[in-house]
Structure 1
Amino acid sequence: MTSLAPLRRALLSVSDKTGLIDLARALDARGVELLSTGGSAKALREAGLPVRDVAEITGFPEMMDGRVKTLHPRVHGGLLAVRSDEAHVAAMDEHGIPAIDLLVVNLYPFEETVAKGADYDTCIENIDIGGPAMIRAAAKNHADVCVVTDVEDYDALLSELSENDGQTGLPFRKRLAQTAYARTAAYDAAVSTWMAQAIGESTPRRRAFAGTLAQTLRYGENPHQNAAFYTDGSGRPGVATAQQVQGKALSYNNINDTDAAYELVAEFGGDAPACAIIKHANPCGVATGGSLVEAYARAFDCDRTSAFGGIVALNRPLDGATAAEIAKIFTEVVIAPGADAEAREIFAAKKNLRLLVTEALPDPRSPRLTYRQVAGGLLVQDHDTGAVARGDLKVVTKRAPSAQELDDLMFAWTVARHVKSNAIVYARDGQTVGVGAGQMSRLDSALIAAAKAGRMGEALGLSESPAKGSVVASDAFFPFADGLMEAAGAGVTAVIQPGGSMRDDEVIAAADEAGLAMVLTGMRHFRH
Structure 2
Amino acid sequence: MNVLASSDGAEYSMGRLALLSVSDKSGIVDLARQLVTEFDFEIISSGGTAKTLQEAGINVTKVSDYTGSPEILGGRVKTLHPRIHGGILARRDLAEDLAELESNSIRFLDLVAVNLYPFEKTIAQPNVTVAEAIEKIDIGGPAMIRAAAKNFANLTVLCDPSLYEEYLAELAKGDISLEFSQKMAGIAFNRTFAYDRAISTYFAELNGNTDLPDAYSISGNKVQTLRYGENPHQPAAWYSNSNTGWSSGSQLQGKELSYNNLVDLEAARRIITEFPTDEPAAAVLKHTNPCGVAVADTLAAAYEQAFNADNVSAFGGIVALNKTIDVPTATALTTTFLECVVAPGCDEDAKEILQKKSKLRVLVLPDLATGEKNTIKAIAGGFLVQASDDLIENPDRWEIVTEKKPSPAEIAEMLFAQKVVKHVKSNAIVVTKNRTTLGIGAGQMNRVGAVKIALEEAGEQTSGGILASDGFFPFDDSVRTAAAAGIKAIIQPGGSIRDKDSIAAANELGIVMVLSGTRHFLH
Q: TM-score, normalised by structure 2?
A: 0.91
Structure-1 residue corresponding to 2:520: 525
* Counterpart pick for 2:267 among 242, 260, 264: 260
Give the alignment partner of residue 468 of structure 1, picking from 455, 463, 488. Answer: 463
Q: Distance in 1 between matches of 2:303 and 2:350?
A: 14
1:270-349 equivalent positions in 2, closer than 5 A: 270-349=277-356
Alpha-carbon deviation of 1:108?
2.0
1:107 partnered with 2:116? yes
Describe the SS at the equivalent of 1:268: coil
User: Could you report, residue by residue, the CA deviation over 1:152-183 in whole angstroms, capped at 9, with x for unpaired residues?
Assistant: 2233334444x336x53444333322211110
User: After the TM superposition, which of the residue ranges 27-36 and 393-402 deviates more from structure 2?
Assistant: 27-36
- Aligned: 1:516 with 2:481: no
Q: 1:16 deviation in Å?
A: 2.3
1:394 Cα deviation from its structure 2 partner: 2.1
Query: What amino acid is aligned across from residue 85 of structure 2 in structure 1?
Result: H
**Contact 2:339/2:361 (8 A) holds in 1:** yes
Are the aligned partners of 1:241 and 1:358 in contact in 2 as well (CA < 8 Å)? yes
The superposition leaves residues 409-445 of structure 1 with CA deviations (integer Å, 9 ceiling, x where unpaired) of 1111111111111111000001000001111222111
Q: Residue 334 of structure 2 contacts residue 356 of structure 2 at CA under 8 Å; is this kept in 1? A: no
Q: CA deviation at 1:342?
A: 4.0
Partner of 1:478: 473
Counterparts of 1:168-317 in structure 2, within 5 Å, are 168-201=176-209, 202-236=211-245, 239-317=246-324
2:156 counterpart letter in structure 1: C
C-alpha distance after superposition, 1:293-345 (max 9, x if no partner): 22122112211111111111111222333333333322111112222344333
CA displacement 1:367-406 (0-9 Å, x = unmatched):
7121111112211111111112232222111111122212
Q: Secondary structure at the match of 1:33?
A: strand
Aligned-pair distance for 1:61? Answer: 3.1
Q: Give the distance between the partners of 2:235 and 2:292, measured in 1 at CA.
A: 31
Query: Matches of residues 296-445 of structure 1 in structure 2 within 5 Å?
Result: 296-362=303-369, 368-445=373-450
Indicate the SS of the match to 2:494.
Answer: coil
**Considering only aligned residues, what root-mean-square deviation do their CA atoms show, in Å?**
2.4
More deviation in 51-60 or 391-400?
51-60
- Over residues 63-97 of structure 1, what are the superposed CA-to-partner deviations in whole Å (9 max), with x where a residue is unaligned? 34444332333212211223344443233222211
Written as runs of structure 1 = structure 2, the 5 A alignment for 1:448-459 is: 448-454=453-459
Shift of 1:481: 1.5
188-197 or 113-122, larger mean C-alpha shift: 113-122
Paired with 1:62 and 1:147, the residues of 2 have a C-alpha distance of: 23
The whole-number CA distance in structure 1 between the counterparts of 2:449 and 2:522 is: 17
**Alpha carbons 2:18, 2:112 under 8 Å: kept:** yes
Are the aligned partners of 1:367 and 1:385 in contact in 2 as well (CA < 8 Å)?
Answer: no
Offset of residue 121 of structure 1:
4.9
* Aligned match of 1:461: none
Q: Give the match for residue 28 of structure 2.
A: 20
| Per-residue deviation, 1:234 | 5.0
* 2:43 partner SS: strand
- AA at the equivalent of 1:199: N
For the residue of structure 2 that corresponds to 1:209, the secondary structure is coil
SS across alignment from 1:168: coil
Name the amino acid aligned to 1:512: N
Cα 1:484–1:241 shift into 2, 3 Å: farther
Q: Report if aligned partners of 1:192, 1:208 keep a CA contact under 8 Å in 2.
A: no
- What SS is found at the alignment partner of 2:176? strand
Alpha-carbon distance in structure 2 between the residues aligned to 1:267 and 1:203: 25
Per-residue deviation, 1:499: 1.8
Quote how far apart the aligned CAs of 1:120 are: 4.2
- Could you say if the C-alpha distance between residues 130 and 240 of structure 1 is closer, same or farther in structure 2, counting changes exceeding 3 Å? closer
Distance 1:466 1:96 in 2: 86
Aligned letter for 1:306?
A: S
CA distance, structure 1, for counterparts of residue 34 and residue 263 of structure 2: 43
Q: Check 1:360–1:7 CA distance in 2 against 1; reply closer, same or farther (3 A cut).
A: farther
Indicate the SS of the match to 2:223: strand
Query: Is contact 2:121-2:243 (8 Å) kept?
Result: no
Instruction: Give me the whole-angstrom Cα distance separating, in 1, the residues matched to 2:329 and 2:51.
Output: 54
Which of 83, 92, 100 lines up with 2:92 in the alignment?
A: 83
Work out whether 1:137 is the aligned partner of 2:147: yes
Contact kept? 1:293, 1:321, Cα under 8 Å: yes
Aligned residues of 1:193 and 1:207 also touching (Cα < 8 A): no
Q: TM-score, normalised by structure 1?
A: 0.90
Is the CA contact 1:7–1:101 (under 8 Å) kept in the aligned structure 2? no
| TM superposition shift of 1:48 | 4.2
Distance in 2, Cα, partners of 1:101 & 1:315: 52
* Aligned-partner Cα distance in 1 for 2:229–2:238: 10
> CA, structure 1 residues 69+341, in 2 after alignment: closer, same or farther (shift >3 Å)?
closer
Residues of 1 paired with 2:289 and 2:190: CA distance? 34
CA drift at 1:277: 0.5
In the other structure, the counterpart of 1:505 is 500
Farther-moved stretch of structure 1 (86-95 vs 385-394): 86-95
Is residue 471–residue 494 contact of structure 1 (8 Å, CA) maintained in 2? yes
Per the alignment, residue 101 of structure 2 pairs with 92
Q: Which of 67, 78, 97 is the equivalent residue of 1:58?
A: 67
What amino acid is the match of 2:25? K
- In structure 2, C-alpha distance between the alignment counterparts of 1:319 and 1:302, rounded to whole Å: 21
For residues 10 and 231 of structure 1, what CA distance do their matches in structure 2 show?
30
Task: For 1:225 and 1:466, locate their aligned partners in 2 and report how far apart those are by CA, in whole Å.
Answer: 42
How many residues are paired up? Answer: 510
SS at match of 1:223: coil
Match of 2:164 among 154, 157, 162: 154
Determine the C-alpha separation between the residues in 1 that align with 2:283 and 2:493: 24
Q: For the residues of structure 2 that align with 1:390 and 1:468, how far apart are their CA atoms?
A: 23
Aligned partners of 1:36 and 1:53 also within 8 Å: yes
The one-letter code matched in structure 1 to 2:261 is N
Would the aligned equivalents of 2:194 and 2:241 in 1 still touch at CA under 8 Å?
no
Task: Tell me whether 341-350 or 400-409 shows the greater mean CA deviation.
Answer: 341-350
